[in-house]
Structure formats: C-alpha cells, structure tokens
Chain A
Amino acid sequence: MIDILGSPVYGNITVGEILFSAVVMVLAVILAKSVTMYLRRIIGDRMEKNYRELILKLVYYLIILIGFVTILPVLGLNPSGLLVAGGITGIVIGFASQSVVSNLISGIFILWEKPIRIGDQVEVSGISGFVEDINVMSTILRTYDGLFVRIPNQTLFTGNITNYTGNVVRRFEYRIGIRYSDDAERAIGIIRRVIDEEPFALKNPSPAVFVDELGDNAVIISVKIWSPVQVWYDVKMRLLAKIKAELERSGIEIPFPQRVVWFANELELKDSGKIG
C-alpha cells in the first residue's frame, strides 16, 4: 500500500500527493458549499437578492481558489513561477479560452454595471423573461412561458438590453376606436373617470387621453397611463376591460370596419309587391 502511494507518477510527484491534492480540492468544494449555504441562511432577506448572490459567489470562488493555490506546490507547481512563465503556453491557452475569458470579463462588467438584477423582467437578443441568476459566465432567464434560457454574458454585454423593470414606473398605451357618430369628448371623459378610479393608474405623471387619429372606420382615442412596474401588467389587463364596459354602458360603441359604397347609377330594385 505504502509502495503504491509512494510510487512516482511524473517527476517526483507520487500517487499519494495526487490523492492528497484531490482530497484538498474536494474538501475545498465541500467547505465552499457549506459556507455559502450558511451565509445564505444568515443573510436571508436582509440584503437585496442581487448583492447577496454576488457575495455568495465571491466567497465560493475565493475558497476554491485558496484550495487550488494550496495544492499547487504539492503537485510540484510554483504559483509565483506560473505567473512569470506565461510565454507560448499562455498565448496558446489565451487563444483557446478566448470566449471563456470574454464571457468572464463580460460577467464581471455586468455585475459591476448592473444593467439587470435578479428578478428583473428583461428582453435580451429577442428573448423576454425574468432574470433568474447572473453567473460569472452566463445569465439565466426564465421566459414568460417558463422556459430556461442560458445567455452567455458576452452576448448579453454586447447586445441591447431592455429592462422593463429598471425604473420605478412605466407607461402603457391603448388605442381605442369609437364611431364617428359618438361624442369623442364624452368618451374621453368616461375613460378619464375609469382611469381615476383605478388605484395604480398614477395621478402623476398624469394619464394622457386624446383624439389621436381620424381613422378609416373610427375616431382613434389614444390613452397613455403610468403605473408602478410591479403591477403595470395587471393594471393594463384590468383597465381595458373596464373602459370597454363603461363605454358600452354609455352607448358608445367600438365600430367594426366599414366602407361606404356609392354607385354611379341608382340600383334597380326588384319590386315584388304590386300596388293594386
């Protein structure tokens, strides 16, 4: 047994030293997971989720790094020597790991710049959903359909990011058509009253309700409403149905497409009944 552990694998490095290194790394991983789990429990909801996850990741990778640096001398590698001995190996590894490093650097910049946070609703590269996690290499989205999407941080960092919940409030718009025979001013008054009764249709910035277009089939009323980002979609869904019901109750209808046709000659109508 002692002979096997003491037998060299390469240079002076023995099987025992490799096993020792493996055990140290496994212990480092176990320790990192235990410490982050403990910290997660202690921090709980006292810190914003975004910052909490960032701290936990830093602690996790720091412990792994300490474990890795510890086993380097055991494996016959001098950490200070590694720093100096870049050379050709460094260039080769650099080229090979270009995208990995790019994702890593992008991840660090995203965590630093914070264009998105965990829990935000975003659109990135045509994919919309909730930010589930921001890792060093990639960002995880959960689409509105519940799909898991992993986006490399490089794609995220270099692409356009639309953060729907980046500000405290946001605006949404309806375009409501009414008949030409209806009183537009009255319709605007009714819409304003419905908006005023909705708690989360903000008082300020005030909602805008105005005739925006004289369309082919209808007078188009534009309705623009600001709402807190946490509830804007609920308000948007709820309010349109209320506006429609209230307009209909007041005899104002949303018209179907229609076209007036003029004939060059009067139509000859068949008169089936004979006047006696």
Chain B
Amino acid sequence: MSLFGIYPLESLELDEDGIKIELRRNENVLSYIRQTENETAEKIISSDGNLVVNPVEPVNLPSCVTNYLLIELKKNVVIAPKAEAAIFVKFPVEVGVFVSGSGDIELVDVFSLARQKYTLYGDPRNGIVCRYWKSDVYQSIPDLEPLREGLMKLEIRNGFDEWVEVSRCVLDVYLMKIFYSDELVFSNVKMDIESKSTAETRFVMEPLNRNMRKAVEIFTPRKVRIASKRFFMEWGL
C-alpha cells in the first residue's frame, strides 16, 4: 500500500510513512492538508474532479533551479568496446499532487522524503546545475521505499572502440518517463557512449511490468516545451 493513486475529490484521509494527506469537505470547497515530519501545506480546492498522487521529476525541491539529475555511481562501471550492460540504480522520489477535471490538470503540491542536494556538472561558465544523487549499482532489483527511492534501469551501450569507465549519469528530467505501482517507482534510461568522455542519455517509455501505471509528470501541466529528446553528456562520464 502506498499513497500513490487517483482519488475522487471528496473527503479523504491518507496516512503512510509519516505523510498525511487529508481532504476536508467544507460546504462548496475542499480543504487540502498535507503534513510531513516538519512541514505542512494547505490549499483550498474549489472544483469537482480527481486528486492524483504520483511520483514526479525529482528537481522541484526546495525550489526549482534546474531540470537535470546527476546520479553518481558508488562503483564505476567499466564497459568493453561495442558492448552493452544493463544495471539498476536508485533515484530520489518527489511526490506530486495534482487536481484534474474539466480536461485540464494542475499541480497543487510537491513533497519528498528523499535527501535534497545539488551539484554542478561541467565548469562554472558553461556547466549545468543538477540534482545530485549517489547510488549503489545493482544487478537485480534491490529493496526500495517507494516514497523515498525509485528504481532506474540503466542500459549502457558502448559504441566507442575503446574500454570506457562510467561513474555518473546525467539526465534531462523534463523528458523523464516515470511508472509506479504500490511497491515500486520505476524509470528506464538508455545511455549511448560516444567517446571516453561523452555520451547521450534518454528516457525510454517502457515500464518494468504491465501492472505499472504511468505517472503524470510536472512538465505536462506546466506545458514546458521540449527542445530535444536526448541529453548530451559532454563534460565527462
């Protein structure tokens, strides 16, 4: 059981892992109250429709300063020329709460239990600020807490003629495809290595199993335009 799901906009009370989400009917409007360990958010919702609670792109907290996620691997992955490798890593989960109805969907709240930290990829002049996350490398699906960590399948393909060592993966999360079930938050990524220090990363629209539901991403309600479907890692792997 987890918080994730679609609920009708009626009186509601969800309590999981120290997070409490409550909808209170007050005449014609609903009061939305979300409580975590040290934070409370309150909003008034006026319309009928649904409340959608699902994982979203992990770059919104404490405030949105970037759309990139950098996952540093605790153990480097060394890949032979023209070889492929599939590994699992963890990524931070942020939970988005949306209201949907009348053909539109709007974000009302984002919160997270995962540690928030940011880093720079590249140099201060041309580099990019990224959400930072350090993960072990797994050969099979590890134990996960779906409200804190998601599972990412990282398929690395070395198209270069030499051995390449990968220590991190940088992703443009505006292109992120997230799937979820009660037990698992999942995202699928492909990394195409082009040289010793450059690679292209992209998200793949493919859940881990058929029972998973596609998450509503934040960039959809915000109507963010997508310039490219890939991110080019040009400042090292």
The interface stretch among A22-30, A65-73, A165-173 is A165-173
Minimum distance in angstroms from B193 CB to a CB of chain A: 21
* Contacts of B40-83 to chain A: CB distance below 8 A: 61-63, 65-66
Identify which of B127, B132, B225 contacts A169 (C-beta below 8 A): B127
Identify which of B61, B116, B120, B225 contacts A202 (C-beta below 8 A): B120
Q: Across the interface, do B119 and A228 meet the contact criterion of CB distance under 8 Å?
A: no
Q: Across the interface, do A168 and B128 meet the contact criterion of CB distance under 8 Å?
A: yes
Number of A-B contacts defined by CB within 8 Å: 47
The answer to whether B129 has its CB under 8 Å from any CB of chain A is: yes
Identify which of B61, B116, B118, B125 contacts A228 (C-beta below 8 A): B118
Q: Across the interface, do B124 and A200 meet the contact criterion of CB distance under 8 Å?
A: no
* Contacts of B85-121 to chain A: CB distance below 8 A: 116-121
Q: Across the interface, do B120 and A226 meet the contact criterion of CB distance under 8 Å?
A: yes
Q: Across the interface, do A204 and B119 meet the contact criterion of CB distance under 8 Å?
A: yes
Minimum distance in angstroms from A113 CB to a CB of chain B: 16
Cα-based distance from A170 to B65 in the complex (angstroms): 14
A199: chain B residues at CB < 8 Å are 61-62, 116-118
Q: Across the interface, do A202 and B65 meet the contact criterion of CB distance under 8 Å?
A: no
Q: B119's closest neighbor in chain A, by CB?
A: A203
* Contacts of A178-204 to chain B: CB distance below 8 A: 196, 199-200, 202-204
* Contacts of B181-225 to chain A: CB distance below 8 A: 225
Cα-based distance from A228 to B127 in the complex (angstroms): 11
Q: Secondary structure of the B side of the interface?
A: loop
The answer to whether A115 has its CB under 8 Å from any CB of chain B is: no
A169: chain B residues at CB < 8 Å are 120, 124, 127, 129
A46: chain B residues at CB < 8 Å are 225
Q: Across the interface, do A168 and B62 meet the contact criterion of CB distance under 8 Å?
A: no
Q: Across the interface, do A205 and B124 meet the contact criterion of CB distance under 8 Å?
A: yes
Cα-based distance from A230 to B61 in the complex (angstroms): 14
B63: chain A residues at CB < 8 Å are 231
B128: chain A residues at CB < 8 Å are 168
Q: Across the interface, do A203 and B124 meet the contact criterion of CB distance under 8 Å?
A: no
Minimum distance in angstroms from A167 CB to a CB of chain B: 5
Identify which of A170, A196, A230, A231 contacts B124 (C-beta below 8 A): A170
Q: Across the interface, do B117 and A228 meet the contact criterion of CB distance under 8 Å?
A: no
Q: Across the interface, do A168 and B129 meet the contact criterion of CB distance under 8 Å?
A: yes
Q: Across the interface, do A200 and B225 meet the contact criterion of CB distance under 8 Å?
A: no
* 0/1 interface trace, chain B 120-137, chain A, CB 8 Å (1 if under): 110011111100100000
Apart from A46-B225, A168-B125, A168-B126, list 6 A-B contacts with CB within 8 A.
A169-B129, A200-B62, A202-B118, A205-B124, A228-B118, A230-B65
In the complex, 5 of the A-B residue pairs with CB atoms within 8 angstroms, ordered by the A residue number, are A169-B120, A202-B119, A226-B120, A228-B65, A228-B118
Closest 5 pairs (CB-CB, A-B): A199-B116, A203-B119, A204-B119, A228-B129, A228-B65
